Structure 1
Amino acid sequence: MAALSIPVTVMRAFHRILANFFWGSSDIANKVWADLLHLLHFNNRAATSVNDGLLSFLSCQVHYSVERKLAHYTFMSAMWEIWCSRNQTRFQEEEMSGRLELNVDGVFKLANSGAGGGGILRDHEGRCVFAFAKNYQGAISALDVETRALRDGLTICCNKGILDILVEIDSLNLKRIVTGQMHRLWELTCIIQDVAIITKKVKVQIKHVPREANQVAHSLAGYGCSTKHFRCWDSGADIPHVVKGPYRLDKVGCPTLML
């Protein structure tokens, strides 16, 4: 029987998912493995890749079979708990009444200097309130594009009288800059100041999420790279066809894999 050939893109996506078990997008994984270090003799920080992390644990010498089984069960249980914790964060329960969620993202293509941003505002049932996409010609970095998209998304909310927003972004640096945990780059000063002015008018909570939880905004940002004009849609039925797939998957609670 011939061996099944698995596409490289699928394997890469699988490795990205597994990587969250070892390092994750927050400190959850690090804390779990630190607590289990003496029991499992497994150091996730020493692993340089998914394969390295698995081999590091599986090659660990244990004297007795009972201990080996206990270590294996504990290892798999830890991975399961990390996965459940990620899902709980991603698929959180309905936010407080009236609060809407704004996801924004940016795409910066260094090869051809293409840059675009986009975002989507949804209610607690995942329905689109509005979505936008824009070409950011002249942007100098991915962080620059993401910051512009955040500013434009908040501006639209403010103009529409939406005054209580949960903002979700997948750039940890942007979250730290906006919340004052990290010094901003001088070239982003004007944009960050615009964001600060808007947040004085609107109640905003900014939250960092994994990339797979931000795929609708990412698709809109990709669309923004190819459009010449600012585009805004007031319904999920009107968004570009390339965005509808991720939008529908996200609405039913199924995140899109990063291939």
Structure 2
Amino acid sequence: MKLSGNTIFITGGGSGIGRGLAEALHKLGNQVIISGRRKGHLEATTKANPGMQSVELNVEDPASIAAVAQKLIADYPALNVLINNAGIMQIDNAAGVIEEDLLTSTVTTNLLGPIRMTSALIEHFKKQESAAVINVSSVLGFVPLAMSAVYSSTKAALHSYTLSLRYTLGGSSVKVLEIAPPWVQTDLLNSNEEPRAMPLAPFIAEAIKVLGTDSDEVVVEQAVMLRNNPGPGEGTFVKQFNDMMTQPQ
């Protein structure tokens, strides 16, 4: 996709990968609007990036999504890029009882949120000369982390939805992309200081570079092996991966 001259809306843009993408795209000459539930994070991000805008959004609430979409279309008629980035990740136990609050909040935020947000903006995007919907999934959608089974499942579902969306929008002005990050040093599972995770800055730099190509998927080099795992015998690597992740560090 073209990396400048866009009007871009990013969910979950006040921290982590969302903020990293927002700042990188802002510097490239795009009008960037970020959203989230934590007003303090939004204000800190926009203050550090003059010209960037923000709006409060609860992606778990369909009414909030509808209201924000309506406001965006009215305030930013040139809006042509949506980055569905907002997500939550919690530890669960698929072999035991999974708490209802964890289940519903994760599925609603990570899967229903992007679908609802896309649905609310898609007719507007179809009217643009060039537009893009970018879904941020995870390599855990291809190689699940068993200790976070619900999160991994939502990312697998988001990948599937992205494929369907890309097919149904084929021939239109709307391009559909997927960013599948590896483990990155962010607030998710308090991974900011995790040595096994990829530092945020190099991830963003590499992701932006791939985003500027014609590729439908943004997969950094560190994520390629996990992205390519699905297929016959995939369970062998899934076991090896989870055995490794459960070993004491």
Please confirm whether the aligned pair reaches a TM-score higher than 0.5, indicating the same fold: no
Structure with bigger RCO (C-alpha 8 Å, 6+ apart): 1
TM-score with structure 1 length normalisation?
Answer: 0.26
Calculate the TM-score normalised by the size of structure 2: 0.26
Query: Which structure would you say has the larger Rg?
Result: 1
